[in-house]
Amino acid sequence: MTAGPADPCEPTPRPQEGVVSWNINTACNYRCGYCTQRFKEDRNRWSRDTPRFLEAFARLPGRWEVKLSGGEPFVQPTLEGIVAGLAALGHRISIVTNFSAPREKLEAFVAAAAGRVGVFSCSLHLPYVDGDDELDGFFRKAAWLQAELQAAHARAETPARAGAPADLPRPRVCVTTVATRDALPRLGDLARRSKAAGLPFKLQPEKQDREVIRYTDGEERTILALGGHNFTGRIVHRFEGRPCWAGSRYFILDDEGTAYRCYPARRFRVERMGRFIAQGFRLADVPSPCLYAACNCTVPIARGMMPLAGLEASRIDFEEDLS
Ligand code: SF4
Ligand code: SF4
- Residue by residue, pLDDT tens for the chain (323 residues) are 555 666 778 999 999 999 999 999 999 999 998 998 776 667 777 778 999 999 999 999 999 999 999 899 999 999 999 999 999 999 999 999 999 999 999 999 999 999 999 999 999 999 999 899 999 999 999 999 999 999 999 988 767 777 777 788 999 999 999 999 999 999 999 999 999 999 999 999 999 887 899 999 999 999 999 999 999 889 989 999 999 999 999 999 999 999 999 999 999 999 999 999 999 999 999 999 999 999 999 999 999 999 987 665 443 344 344 44
Residue nearest to atom 3 of ligand 1 (CA): 71
State if residue 35 touches ligand 1 by the CB under 6 angstroms criterion.
yes
**In angstroms, what is the span from residue 40 Cα to ligand 1's centroid?**
12
**In angstroms, what is the span from residue 244 Cα to ligand 2's centroid?**
6
Question: Phi, psi (5° rounding) for residue 116?
Answer: -105, 35
**In angstroms, what is the span from residue 98 Cα to ligand 1's centroid?**
7
**In angstroms, what is the span from residue 3 Cα to ligand 1's centroid?**
32
Cβ pair 261, 251 in contact under 8 A: yes
Cβ pair 251, 283 in contact under 8 A: yes
Cα 140 to its chain centre, rounded Å, is 22
Q: Give the start-to-end residue ranges of the domains of the chain.
A: 18-302
Q: Which of 22, 174, 175 has the alpha carbon at shortest distance from 93?
A: 22
Residue nearest to atom 5 of ligand 2 (CA): 290
Q: Can you tell me the distance from the alpha carbon of 54 to that of 85, in angstroms, rounded to the nearest whole number?
A: 7
Q: Which of 116, 134, 117 has the alpha carbon at shortest distance from 125?
A: 134
∠ CA 112-117-122, nearest 5°, is: 100
**In angstroms, what is the span from residue 10 Cα to ligand 2's centroid?**
15
**In angstroms, what is the span from residue 105 Cα to ligand 2's centroid?**
34
Mutate to test the pocket of ligand 1, among 31, 98, 124 (most ligand atoms within 8 A of CB): 98
- Distances in Å between the Cα of 97 and the Cα atoms of 74, 177, 262, 315, 317 are 7, 11, 20, 27, 24
Ligand lying nearest the CA atom of residue 261: 2
SS3 267: helix
Q: Which of 315, 95, 142, 150 has the alpha carbon at shortest distance from 223?
A: 315
Mutate to test the pocket of ligand 2, among 238, 290, 298, 301 (most ligand atoms within 8 A of CB): 290
- Distances in Å between the Cα of 270 and the Cα atoms of 289, 290, 302 are 14, 12, 23
State if residue 30 touches ligand 1 by the CB under 6 angstroms criterion.
yes
CATH 3.20.20.70 is held by the domain 18-302: yes
Q: Is 227 left (phi over 0), alpha (psi -120 to 50) or beta?
A: left
